[in-house]
Structure 1
Amino acid sequence: MGTPYPNPVTPTRTRIGWIGTGVMGAAMAGRLLAAGYSLTVFSRTQSKTLPLQSQGAKLASSPLELAQLSDVVFTMVGHPSDVRSVVLGPTGVLSGLNPNSVTVDMTSSHPTLAREIFTSAREKNCWSVDAPVSGGDVGAREGKLAILAGGDAGVVNWLSPLFEVMGKMTYLGRAGSGQSCKIANQITVGANLVGLSEGLVFAERAGLDLKQFVDAIRGGAAGSMVMELYGERMIGRDFEAGGFTEYMVKDLGMGVDVVEEEEGDGKVVVLPGAALSKHLFSAMVANGDGKLGTQGLITVIERLNGKMNESCQ
């Protein structure tokens, strides 16, 4: 069992570092500040840290400096390449992390990279946890994220007070398990968004009132968290990003294209539905809408049906 520190995690004892202050990361870090934890932040775009600094966060000049000032470092960045750079790079988190400290990657990233980081951390007498999240911007603001954790069970349990500030944590198993769970989550979410988009387009063509349609089916088998989060936004043409569409393409790609290496054997999972979802989200990116929310997928279905005048703007 992992034992990063003999003392429990508390606001008075545990110093937090946070890298990545986008829509999700800023809200999650803000909740830790509000819970009384001291916070040091780093972002490649320093202006994005100003709201957190106004709440009392300190600013670090590099991931290395941030790690030196922290007991637990969270990363919430964009792509696996960003994770590799800020964690494993020459001025990355692991180059400055103190012995027995922990780095927690909450980015949707690759299971293989998570295992590589875990191995590198242990070589430095540190720990790593992969803990991507689901729940969008609403879940981040309200502290209702689903947190999918992989790594050493003892370390994950030690981190529980921090996870509880941000949402509900589920321990999935060894390093990389959290990332594998997030990929499976995104496959499911993508399919839900395709179905909801097509249902709305069909209902509109049939002459139904869309709000009435959603209210009528939300309590039945078609109801889902995706519908609760995005149904009214899609009807109201609100495509502001809680999670960027280009990130959904990245996540689905890790599922469709991934080759898991187990005991030397490459195993490819055939996922025709996920491949279709990736194709449709990629079409949204090709339309110039990659920085908008995934609920904007409805515009791709509309375009396929000849409706061109209400695409994402």
Structure 2
Amino acid sequence: MGAAMASRLLSAGYSLTIFVRNPSKALPLQSKGATLVNSLHDVARSSDVVFTMVGNPQDVRSVVLENNGILSGLNPGAVLVDTTSSHPTLAREIFKAARDKDCWAVDAPVSGGDIGARDGKLAIFAAGDGGVVEWLSRLFEVMGKHTYMGEAGCGQSCKIANQIVVGANLMGLSEGLVFAEKAGLDVRKWKESVRGGAAGSMVMELFGQRMIEKDFRPGGFAEYMVKDMGMGVDVVEESEDERVAVLPGAALGKQMFSAMVANGDGKFGTQGLISVIERINGK
């Protein structure tokens, strides 16, 4: 997703400096005009705005806050935009660290998968200083549609809630497809018959055909859903705050995606959840 987002910025005419942990992955972007540098510090020093898209909160902490990370090289007034699905508490910590350096930080996780990133149709959940988010709006418009969610950390909370809904939709779609097949229905015809009714969803549009065809190539890794849904569930498990919601569906969804990982399928796309339902049913 990060590569597709970067490609759209290049196509829109922006100058782009990049760092990737595996330099071979930078070749397509270099061919479009991106400049590859040797460190995160160098990216920050040469940029007014730095976007990050990595895997987990610990990756975010590493690339942003540790020695020679992005904040070490960010110029006064520059902006860090983290599009990773990460933890709200970490987003608030990064925001404070950036302000201590006279910089800005925005947590702006995205939803829409690889197709949304490629087509510039991502949903972007932006949080931090409202004026800074507005200043970034032209960049966000290249990648999708942004919504200002509030103070630092609110973007990440929005993404966690988004993933709870996506996970529930994937589980329902998986069970619907397996049931339809067991009942002797043509699953393609079933999908077409229900997509325009109450059962239809963006998840069905993005992943339904892939699930039928057993195309589990990743737009986002299934193992990341364990992380994303887990952040919502863990808040419940770790807090005594009565305002925290109890999430039985999210807990079950986390278990189902954890089963994918246990089966060795954590690098499949999230649509591979149907494989767990099929295994339970002896297929």
TM-score scaled by length of structure 1: 0.88
Aligned-pair CA distance for 1:260:
10
User: Residue 100 of structure 1: which of 59, 69, 77 is its match?
Assistant: 77
Offset at 1:136?
Answer: 0.4
Is 2:32 the partner of 1:55? Answer: yes
Tell me how far 1:266 sits from its aligned partner: 8.0
For residue 44 of structure 1, report the CA deviation from its aligned partner: 0.9
Of 133, 145, 149, the residue aligned with 1:172 is: 149
The residue number in structure 1 matching 2:250 is 274
How well do the aligned residues superpose, as a CA RMSD in angstroms?
Answer: 1.5
Kindly indicate whether residue 98 of structure 2 is the aligned counterpart of residue 116 of structure 1.
no
1:300 maps to: 276
Per the alignment, do residues 266 and 122 of structure 1 end up closer, same or farther by CA in structure 2, a change over 3 Å counting? Answer: farther
Alpha-carbon contact 1:260-1:266 (below 8 Å) kept:
no
Distance 1:69 1:30, change over 3 A: same
Determine the structure 2 residue equivalent to 1:71.
Answer: 48
Cross-structure match for 2:106: 129
User: Could you say which residue in structure 2 is the equivalent of 1:311?
Assistant: none
Task: Look up the equivalent residue of 2:136 and give its one-letter code.
Answer: L
Structure 2 SS opposite 1:288: coil
Shift of 1:269: 2.7
- Conserved in 2, the CA contact under 8 Å of 1:240 and 1:292? yes
- More helix as a share of residues: 2
**CA 1:62–1:230 in structure 2 vs 1: closer, same or farther (change >3 Å)?**
same
Provide the C-alpha distance between the structure 2 equivalents of 1:156 and 1:254, rounded to a whole number of angstroms: 25
1:194 match: secondary structure:
helix
Query: Contact 2:222–2:269 at 8 Å: present in 1 too?
Result: yes
Q: Which amino acid aligns with 1:91?
A: N
Q: Distance in 2 between matches of 1:277 and 1:123?
A: 39
- The 1-side partners of 2:204 and 2:243 are apart by 33
Aligned partners of 1:92, 1:278: CA distance in 2, in Å?
Answer: 31
Distance in 2 of aligned mates of 1:239 and 1:147: 24
> Structure 1 residues 156 and 126, CA, compared in 2 at 3 Å: closer, same or farther?
same
- Aligned partners of 1:97 and 1:282: how far apart in 2? 37
Once the two structures are superposed, residues 250-309 of structure 1 have per-residue CA deviations (whole angstroms, 9 ceiling, x without a partner) of: 0011010026999x95854310000000000000010000001000000100000011xx
Which secondary structure does the structure 1 equivalent of 2:29 belong to? helix
Query: Normalised by the size of structure 2, how large is the TM-score?
Result: 0.98
The aligned counterpart of 1:205 is: 182
Q: What is the SS of the residue equivalent to 2:267?
A: coil
User: How far apart, in 1, do the equivalents of 2:111 and 2:165 lie?
Assistant: 11
Return 5+ residue gaps in structure 2 as ranges: none
- Are 1:252 and 2:229 an aligned pair? yes
Which whole-Å CA distance do the structure 2 matches of 1:269 and 1:75 have between them? 30
* Inter-CA distance 291–166: structure 2 relative to 1 (3 Å threshold): same
- Equivalent position amino acid for 2:9 in 1: L
Number of residues of Structure 1 aligned to a counterpart in Structure 2: 283
Runs of 4+ in 1 over 6 A off after TM superposition: none
Distance in 2, Cα, partners of 1:268 & 1:79: 23
Deviations 1:54-86 (A, max 9, x none): 111001111111100000000000000010011
Equivalent-residue separation in structure 2 for 1:268 and 1:282 (angstroms): 23
Q: 1:219 aligns with which of 181, 196, 219?
A: 196
SS of residue in 2 equivalent to 1:38 = coil
Separation in structure 2 between the aligned mates of residue 113 and residue 28 of structure 1, nearest angstrom: 23
How far, CA to CA, are the matches of 1:260 and 1:152 in structure 2?
30
Partner SS for 1:270: coil
